[in-house]
């Protein structure tokens, strides 16, 4: 590639270059001996799941760098009261590692974190994790086709394949409000819960009414002296069909694993129906709306409060939330729901646009995450000095949510346009892991050199994504799914479609940066 700019290189499709893969035991052994070095950033469901898939395929040169002191990702970080998943555990788990002893249908944070740790240990990947290592930069070396990865401590790592698996929900988002630093009490984000702060009898201000707040507000409402909930946008909240599993359930799941698999398949089918209903319409939307409306009327006695809790956007435009105790928690004498904007923070509390001071001893930011700021805090430099955040200046994008032209063998797990409005993200992560393993297999077998995705292919894919998303329900309002005029987080179709598209790597979509090209082309 020396002497060529990206606009003047003709890609040579890999399928035209490489032989068919061999499957003999000797070939597999030789392949594994030539496995590239693989560096994974992040030890949550994505990073650990990829390491397991690579290990099962015989690739052992894997290192996972984790900035925290333990594995678990969001399930390590979010320890607020009543933290739980809103996807049934039968589906919110690795397909190859069923858990017959979940305590509930919708598992809570301690159970999920325990499952992640135990499975990682059983699969032999826990030893590949380096904790307390914060990645600050990654630079592709054009001459050696190796990624150099720098850390906050000054330690440097090298790898042929780099996989950021930091997710979309790893960077807490706190709004910039004048005077916030002057608050005299204690303030913290829900994803950085201060368990050393006693909320008993305190005046607590909760900012935000999203997926985290609808769990921790009911979890602390009986402890606090007074609570003010600042709501910018009311969510649609429907009942959560949760229940505790009994010993009978556990024995059945252990003795007849197929019973749990039936539950998994049923949950998957229902979640796909849920996703399809927002994409194509259908009976589920009016049913959900009627369920939400009936729940609101049944659980909130205060007519004025009910009005404030009515969303001002179409059902499905923002994530539909599941809870059995959110509305009753708000309909309490010592709880006030405020819909005016916060304009200032003073030492004694928060001031809203109507000029009212809401006194508080503690502020809890339930304001979610910087989901659209992909790989925030990591400087990524690709071929010929290309800056990834510069490429993403008007919104992140990646082919299949994984690959970005100009950044060879950098694969972003849970990347742009791979989030789901419903269903389990673990299915998407497993599809991505399988795709990456196929590429690593090809590298190890010598069928490819150093892969980069074709710019024309990536551009066409992004255009498809934005066209479909522009016609989706998510385009009808502003949410954490959007970045300016683009929806950068969500996948526009069903999980099954994404799985099909990643089931087999199309090597015609990739080019080898090590092979000189002869005429103008995609890159």
Mean local confidence (pLDDT), 293-316 = 95
Q: Are residues 193 and 215 in the same domain?
A: yes
Q: What is the pLDDT of residues 173-216, one digit of tens each?
A: 999 999 999 999 999 999 999 999 999 999 999 999 999 999 99
Given a contact cutoff of 8 angstroms between Cβ atoms, the answer to whether 192 and 54 are in contact is no
Tell me which residue of 309, 307, 356 sits closest to 329, measured CA to CA.
309
Domain ends where: 302, 336, 365? Answer: 365
Q: Are residues 349 and 464 in the same domain?
A: no
Report the distance separating Cα 475 and Cα 198, nearest Å: 41
Q: Are residues 44 and 122 in the same domain?
A: yes
∠ CA 216-422-483, nearest 5°, is: 85
Residue 165 belongs to a domain: yes
Global pTM value: 0.91
Query: CATH number, domain at 293?
Result: 3.50.50.60
Q: Are residues 145 and 237 in the same domain?
A: no
Residue 56 belongs to a domain: yes
Q: How many domains does the chain have?
A: 2
251: pLDDT strictly greater than 50: yes
Residue 146 belongs to a domain: yes
Tokens of 369: 């995450």
100: pLDDT strictly greater than 90: yes
Proportion of the chain above pLDDT 90, given as a percent: 80
What DSSP string runs through 8-40? Answer: GPPP--HHHHSPPPP--HHHHHHHHHTPPPEEE
Residue 396 belongs to a domain: yes
Q: What is the pLDDT of residues 468-489, one digit of tens each?
A: 998 888 888 888 788 777 889 9
Residue 300 belongs to a domain: yes
Domain ends where: 325, 349, 365? Answer: 365
Q: Are residues 155 and 235 in the same domain?
A: no
Residue 10 belongs to a domain: yes
Helix, strand, or coil (residue 298): helix
Strand-pairing partners, residue 188, are 364
Residue 9 is predicted with a pLDDT of 32
- Strand 321-322 and strand 335-338: the pairing is unpaired
Report the distance separating Cα 382 and Cα 2, nearest Å: 14
Residue 427 belongs to a domain: yes
Mean pLDDT is lowest, of 120-129, 252-261, 282-291, 492-501, for: 282-291
Q: Are residues 352 and 390 in the same domain?
A: no
Residue 207 belongs to a domain: yes
Q: Are residues 131 and 218 in the same domain?
A: no
Q: What is the pLDDT of residues 414-446, one digit of tens each?
A: 999 999 988 899 999 999 999 999 999 999 999
pLDDT grade, residue 29 (50/70/90)? low
Separation of CA 354 from chain center = 36
Q: What is the pLDDT of residues 33-59, one digit of tens each?
A: 688 999 999 999 999 999 999 999 999
Residue 280 is predicted with a pLDDT of 62
Find the domain containing 222 and state its range.
Answer: 180-243+250-365
Domain ends where: 301, 333, 365? Answer: 365
């Amino acid at each position: 590639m020396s002497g060529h700019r990206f606009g003047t290189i003709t890609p040579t499709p890999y399928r035209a270059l490489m032989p068919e893969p061999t499957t003999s035991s000797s070939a597999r052994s030789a392949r594994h001996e030539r496995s590239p070095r693989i560096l994974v950033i992040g030890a949550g469901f994505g990073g650990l799941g990829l390491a397991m898939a690579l290990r099962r395929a015989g690739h052992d040169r894997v290192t996972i760098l984790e900035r925290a002191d333990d594995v678990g990702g969001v399930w390590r970080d979010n320890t607020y009261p009543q933290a739980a998943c809103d996807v049934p555990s039968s589906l919110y788990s690795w397909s190859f590692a069923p858990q017959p002893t979940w305590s509930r249908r919708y598992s809570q944070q301690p159970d999920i974190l325990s499952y992640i740790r135990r499975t990682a240990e059983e699969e032999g990947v826990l030893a590949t994790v380096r904790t307390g290592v914060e990645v600050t930069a990654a630079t592709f070396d054009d001459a050696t086709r190796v990624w150099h990865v720098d850390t906050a401590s000054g330690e440097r790592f090298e790898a042929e394949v780099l996989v950021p698996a930091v997710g979309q929900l790893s960077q807490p988002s706190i709004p910039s409000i004048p005077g916030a630093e002057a608050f005299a009490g204690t303030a913290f984000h829900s994803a950085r819960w201060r368990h050393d702060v006693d909320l008993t009898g305190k005046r607590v201000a909760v900012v935000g009414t999203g997926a985290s707040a609808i769990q921790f507000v009911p979890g602390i409402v009986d402890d606090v002296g007074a609570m003010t909930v600042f709501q910018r946008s009311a969510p649609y909240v429907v009942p959560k069909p949760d229940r505790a599993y009994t010993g009978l359930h556990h024995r059945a799941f252990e003795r007849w694993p197929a019973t749990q698999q039936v539950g998994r398949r049923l949950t998957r089918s229902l979640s796909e129906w849920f996703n399809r209903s927002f994409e194509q319409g259908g009976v589920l939307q009016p049913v959900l709306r009627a369920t939400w409306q009936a729940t609101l009327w049944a659980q909130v006695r205060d007519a004025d409060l009910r009005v404030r809790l009515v969303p001002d956007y179409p059902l499905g435009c923002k994530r539909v939330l599941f809870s059995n105790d959110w509305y009753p928690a708000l309909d309490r004498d010592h709880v006030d729901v405020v819909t005016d904007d916060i304009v200032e923070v003073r030492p004694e509390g928060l001031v809203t646009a109507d000029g009212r001071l809401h006194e508080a001893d503690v502020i809890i930011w339930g304001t979610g995450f910087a989901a659209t700021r992909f790989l925030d805090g990591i400087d990524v430099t690709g071929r010929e000095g290309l800056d990834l955040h510069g490429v993403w200046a008007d919104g992140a994008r990646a082919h299949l949510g994984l690959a970005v032209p100009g950044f060879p063998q950098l694969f972003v797990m849970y990347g742009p346009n791979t989030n789901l409005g419903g269903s389990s993200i673990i299915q998407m992560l497993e599809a991505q892991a399988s795709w990456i393993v196929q590429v690593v297999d090809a590298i190890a077998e010598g069928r490819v050199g150093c892969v980069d995705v074709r710019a024309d292919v990536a551009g066409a894919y992004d255009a498809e994504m934005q066209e479909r998303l522009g016609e989706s329900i998510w385009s009808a309002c502003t949410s954490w799914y959007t970045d300016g005029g683009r929806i950068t987080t969500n996948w526009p179709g069903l999980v099954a479609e994404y799985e099909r598209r990643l089931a087999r790597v199309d090597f015609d979509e990739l080019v080898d940066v090590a092979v000189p090209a002869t005429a103008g082309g995609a890159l």
